[in-house]
Structure 1
Amino acid sequence: MIETINSSKQAIALEDKYGAHNYHPLPVVLSKGEGVFLWDVEGKKYYDFLSAYSAVNQGHCHPRIKNALVEQAGTLTLTSRAFHNDVLGPFEKYITEYFGFDKVLPMNTGAEGVETAIKIARKWGYEVKGVDENKATIVVAENNFHGRTSTIISFSSDENARKNFGPYTPGFIKIPYDNIKALEEALEEENVVAFLVEPIQGEAGVYTPADDYLRKVSEVCKSKNVLFIADEIQTGIARTGSLLAVCGNCTCEGHCEKQDTYTKPDMLILGKAISGGFYPVSAVLADDHIMNVIRPGQHGSTFGGNPLGAKVAMTALEVVRDEKLALNARKLGKLFRIRMQKLVDTYKILKLVRGKGLLNAVVVNDTEKGSTAWDMCIALKDNGLLAKPTHGNIIRFAPPLVMTEEQLHECCDIIEKVVREFEK
């Protein structure tokens, strides 16, 4: 018997009794979403300032993406890759042209995308670069977040994600983020095949590197015949005010190799908003000289590249381009940081604001083990805005990119009200 939910208290009690306690969500039970808004079981309306960790950049239940999902769901959903289907090829052509790569390997979740990139990089290292088998190493940044699979937590700095999940997978070197000298030194080590990095470290607290960091990363990697892998699962798909964070300050709606600010990675990992929150889709993109090391039977997924996900992803990417969501994120992000900086300058409870586009964070004047940021998020919820802390004293603010300027200012007013109350 499927239980009907009549109250938030009932839903939370069911999760607590029957679900693994692998998350610590805010005490709100959501039942409906539309655009920038969410509603709980009791019917209270909220502004969404998390966007499912940037998975719903196009807004909740975007009608165009929904229609594509419904249409394809009534036609063909899954064949596995044992057979061809009539959507996968068009999807592969569309996404490779959209982002400017020769090939794509479609998967489902972000963590699968990262695992896929790691496998491709190692295989490239053995078969193209000439590294001895089983000796490849990959350089990563400290305080990274690439997922929670066994391999990925092996090079995580988050002890909560690592502790008692060993033994850990070898083959990784950790260096400080946004530190070119450390990267140069790491690449002097033998058998390095790749540098895997987030262009902006979202989960760590929206750490944005120096403007020339990614360009220098690309140059250093090329000089040492090492692959530059950009994990844009959270930062990509217009979130930071450009189609990709590696686009820098590019003002076009798609990347343009003529733009001085665009730094093309050797491999690009996408997920989350690539499907607008409707269906798990991830992808690894690379050019032929890298991707051609993968041959039949060496990597795959039953659901990877399925017709339903492929159709949804194409439509979701069309929405980003047609509705100029990168431009809106860039414009509203500047307004948001101006408003938040005024609060930082006025109230001692806030230390600083940082971010790019509509991926931003405000650092609360408390320790990582303190409860102030959590308590502020509870107060924000009570005032109709949903956000969540990361690393204890940092509140991440990332609304859907379809937000209007008027809505943004209304949300900033809510944040200011809560900050003012906590300052007392």
Structure 2
Amino acid sequence: MPQISFNRARLRAWGIPAVALVAGAGLGVGAMALWGPDASGSADAMARDAMAAESGGEQTVTVGLETLEESIDASGTLAAVSSSDLSFEASGAVTKVNVEEGDTVEKGDVIAVIDTLQLTASLRSAEADLAKAEADLSNLEDEADGSDSSDAQIEAAESQVAVLQENVDDAEDAMDDAKLVADISGLVTSQPYEVGDVVSGGSSSGSGSGDASGMGGGSTTAATTTESSSVTIVGQDEWTVSVSLSEADVAEIAEGDQVTFTSEDLDEEFFGVVSDIANLPTTTGGSATYAVELTVTGTVEGLYEGTSVEASIVTLRETDVLAVPANAITTTDGVSTVTVVADDGTTEEREVTTGETIGSYTKITDGLSEGEKIQMTVMQSGGTGTGDAEDMMQQFGGEMPTGGEMPDGMTFPGGGQMPGGQ
């Protein structure tokens, strides 16, 4: 498994709180991805908010229930759990090819066939030899007189029949081997055979995980052709991603932890779990890393062997938490307060009891109710263009949330299924 680089913990708030904008102030276009646009969603409103963020100001936000998440990021590549290398065991010329590279096959599909003329002749010859030996044995048994000589002749004939029966069995197996049959279902990633190629049967160790089909090779066969060596099938039902994490990061995760995957090659997120954590580290240049295997859950379309993915391993996830942006809270001499905005626009300082801070949010255990509005200060960005968005992202824990709350067990369009919550 490759050693993969990693990124430190990422903190996200999946829920998107509602917003009430104060006239003449706002977070700007970048921050609105987090807090949501104003009621009109107009370009003018977005531009006005961007100007407010440039000069700094106050933003009014609505207190709501959030889903808070803490995670560790890593990069890796998709690998199929099952794959198989198939080659002809028998020798002959390829007479038929049913499958090309890029096709999908089901277990039992015939991929290619070689000429059976010589194989058929060998089988008929073996059958004829067996029939003659069985007839000779029958005659000896009919003429048996109980003498030692007679008994010895019968015993020798029985041995010959047994040997010739094995020859017939081998010839029948060779006929079966004239067909190269898929031993697993999946995507054909390599198919070297063409009609007219001459193959020479042989055997070697393969990499497949499927069962031997008994007809034309299997995951433990190989052959020599005029072109290449074998047909490769990659299963499409089960996938893993191998990553490497530092000792500190490994201490934060456990088998069964939920994982969110993204890829530049895919439009949708998909999900998985931590399935294995190495007990011993790999040390390179004095740094110890641990191999961690992540397993994709659910059925996900469009996954391919070797696809690069980003994995976010969830180490902490709490749902329906009453929480507010941490920079909306002022703490002096151990007393925490927020500025509450009334419906008529007037404000009051109110003491609140806080819990832990996860990312850019702090839990509120007393002093506020869902639906109330509070005021928070937007720091001056001190830049323009994309720098504004980056500066504002820093105020909210370094990352914009990517969408609404993800209920446990929900199946997402085009993606796998998120396992149950922690």
Larger radius of gyration: 2
- TM-score for the superposition, normalised by structure 1: 0.24
The structure with the largest helix share of the pair is 1
Q: Which structure would you say has the larger RCO, counting Cα contacts within 8 Å and 6 or more residues apart? A: 2
User: Which structure is higher in strand share?
Assistant: 2
